[in-house]
């Protein structure tokens, strides 16, 4: 923080130097920050702390005489000219160059040529240099054009741009805490839920095979991969330096999917409406997910309201009740959530027929998923619970109110399974409305997609 006139030394452990540099850069300071790096062993239980005292002089030197080596000048990204004996050769050389520079994700990338990027930009009427957000931890500025570059490399199409822009806008809001999500050691990744007509228009999957590969619904993979490139190439979330996640989770393509609004029973509001948007609006909601669990629900006894509660909802609540420390730490409020429950349209039809409304399901799951204090004791979470202000010895709810639980209808017409995606650190949910280009432009893009990809898939 030398620019602010406050002498500062960061004490960190070996391997986290780049994380500290990114944190400074994200605050607008030079990433060339004064650091005192300790061996990893110093941070283990029972370690010898004598080296810290013995090297106090290094900390004092950082506070009194250290000077930055950075000259403060921005380094423009050069335009690359990639050559080869033929197209395949040039394609391979480009991907090797990107890997050497740390721009790739390990899978082949398509060339972000001027022509390709210009084509992608047809999906938005925002100027190419419009600022979408500062992408932490490094604080790189995402513009409309840089998002188009990432989407072009991920094999995307112009009609995907409105969703990508809205997702990045949602993630770069301060309440979402992208700094924490990207830099943490937790295996956390963005889960992006799209509500409204645009989901079907761009062939985003809301049914069978949700979250997996699909030639009929290619949008989710491309948008999710583009988000990863944004976080890595613009935000500096590179494994082992900008992000210290022990496990990578679903980070190749993250989790980008659509809400099955056609499968909502009467009286069940879509997620976008629950998030404060008018009915029928195109809305993107993002939450930081850390894990996902399939829950088997098949039962011949679930034909009454009580049978559904006993055979289906209690089973879902049991999985939600997992002692996840991240769900019980920090502030709570309307934008905080513990995760999202995905229910197929066949299951919600059974719920509706047996008298369950969406608010009823939330209230039941909220009550049944409370963590018993005895489980908190057995798993070493009582200190966390006390520090977060929960009453001692009382069951601990996942959210402050049932309304803050997220239930989304998605996953096909069967009723035998549910899916629970629980949060990691920085557990706020963030929603943004989707901005489309002019109607004539949008219609032309959809007509082109119909011509190139074939008829719109049914269901």
Checking if the pLDDT of 4 tops 60, the result is no
Residue ranges with strand state E in 174-278: 189-195, 255-258
Number of domain units in the chain: 2
DSSP 243: B
Contacts of 115 (CB under 8 A, 6+ apart): none
Q: How confident is the model at residue 426 (pLDDT cuts 50, 70, 90)?
A: low
pLDDT of residue 2: 45
Give me the domain span that covers residue 377: 120-433
Is residue 130 in some structural domain?
Answer: yes
pLDDT of residue 181: 87
Checking if the pLDDT of 334 tops 70, the result is no
pLDDT digits (tens, 9 = 90+) for 219-253: 999 999 999 999 999 999 988 888 888 898 889 99
Q: Are both 35 and 182 inside the same structural domain? A: no
Checking if the pLDDT of 1 tops 50, the result is no
pLDDT of residue 47: 76
Q: Are both 138 and 56 inside the same structural domain? A: no
Q: Are both 301 and 429 inside the same structural domain? A: yes
- Report the pLDDT averaged over residues 323-350: 84
Is residue 78 in some structural domain?
Answer: no
pLDDT of residue 386: 85
Is residue 90 in some structural domain?
Answer: no
Checking if the pLDDT of 118 tops 90, the result is yes
Checking if the pLDDT of 446 tops 50, the result is yes
Is residue 316 in some structural domain?
Answer: yes
CA distance 174 to 190: 15
pLDDT of residue 72: 46
Backbone angles phi, psi at 236, to 5 degrees: 80, 15
pLDDT digits (tens, 9 = 90+) for 286-301: 999 998 999 998 766 6
Checking if the pLDDT of 3 tops 60, the result is no
Is residue 113 in some structural domain?
Answer: no
Backbone angles phi, psi at 289, to 5 degrees: -95, 145
Q: Are both 38 and 139 inside the same structural domain? A: no
Q: For residue 13, count other CB atoms closer than 10 A to its CB.
A: 16
Q: What is the pTM of this model?
A: 0.87
Rank 18-27, 74-83, 368-377 by mean pLDDT and report only the highest: 368-377
Checking if the pLDDT of 354 tops 80, the result is yes
pLDDT digits (tens, 9 = 90+) for 54-104: 677 777 776 776 666 655 444 555 688 999 999 999 999 999 999 999 999
Is residue 105 in some structural domain?
Answer: no
Task: Give the helix, strand, coil percentages of the chain, each rounded to 5.
Answer: 40, 15, 45
Is residue 367 in some structural domain?
Answer: yes
Is residue 158 in some structural domain?
Answer: yes
Contacts of 132 (CB under 8 A, 6+ apart): 126, 142, 143, 144, 147, 165, 168, 169, 172
Checking if the pLDDT of 127 tops 70, the result is yes
């Amino acid at each position: 923080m030398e620019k602010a006139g406050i002498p500062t030394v960061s004490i960190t452990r070996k391997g986290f130097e780049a994380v500290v540099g990114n944190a400074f850069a994200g605050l607008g300071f030079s990433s060339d920050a004064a650091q005192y790096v300790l061996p990893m062993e110093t941070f283990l239980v029972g370690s010898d702390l004598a080296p810290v005292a013995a090297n106090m002089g290094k900390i004092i030197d950082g506070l009194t005489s250290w000077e930055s080596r950075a000259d403060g000048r921005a380094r423009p990204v050069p335009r690359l000219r990639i050559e080869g004996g033929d197209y395949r050769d040039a394609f391979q050389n480009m991907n090797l160059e990107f890997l050497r520079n740390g721009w790739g994700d390990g899978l082949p990338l398509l060339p972000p040529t001027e022509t390709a990027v210009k084509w992608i930009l047809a999906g938005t009427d925002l100027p190419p240099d419009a600022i979408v957000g500062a992408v932490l931890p490094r604080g790189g500025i995402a513009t409309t054009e840089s998002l188009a570059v990432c989407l072009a490399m991920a094999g995307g199409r112009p009609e995907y741009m409105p969703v990508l822009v809205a997702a990045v806008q949602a993630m770069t809001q301060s309440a979402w805490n992208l700094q924490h999500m990207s830099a943490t050691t937790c295996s956390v990744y963005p889960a992006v839920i799209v509500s409204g007509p645009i989901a079907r228009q761009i062939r985003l999957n809301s049914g069978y095979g949700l979250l997996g590969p699909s030639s009929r619904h290619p949008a989710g993979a491309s948008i999710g991969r583009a988000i990863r490139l944004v976080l890595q190439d613009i935000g500096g979330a590179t494994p082992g330096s900008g992000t210290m996640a022990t496990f990578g989770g679903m980070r190749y393509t993250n989790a980008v999917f659509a809400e099955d609004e056609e499968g909502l029973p009467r009286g069940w509001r879509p997620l976008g409406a629950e998030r404060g948007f008018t009915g029928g609006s195109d809305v993107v909601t993002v939450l930081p997910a850390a894990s996902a669990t399939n829950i088997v629900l098949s039962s011949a006894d679930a034909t009454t309201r009580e049978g559904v509660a006993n055979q289906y909802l209690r089973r879902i609540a049991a999985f939600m009740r997992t002692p996840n420390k991240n769900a019980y730490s920090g502030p709570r409020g309307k934008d905080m959530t513990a995760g999202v429950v995905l229910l197929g349209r066949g299951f919600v039809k059974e719920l509706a027929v047996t008298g369950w409304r969406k608010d009823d399901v939330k209230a039941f799951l909220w009550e049944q998923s409370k963590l018993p204090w005895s489980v908190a004791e057995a798993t070493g979470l009582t200190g966390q619970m006390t520090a977060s202000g929960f009453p001692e010895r009382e069951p601990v709810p996942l959210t402050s109110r049932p309304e803050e639980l997220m239930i989304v209808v998605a996953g096909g017409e069967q009723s035998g399974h549910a899916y629970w995606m629980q949060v990691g650190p920085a557990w706020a949910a963030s929603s943004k409305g989707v901005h489309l280009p002019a109607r004539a432009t949008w219609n032309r893009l959809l007509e082109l997609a119909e011509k190139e990809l074939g008829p719109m898939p049914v269901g």
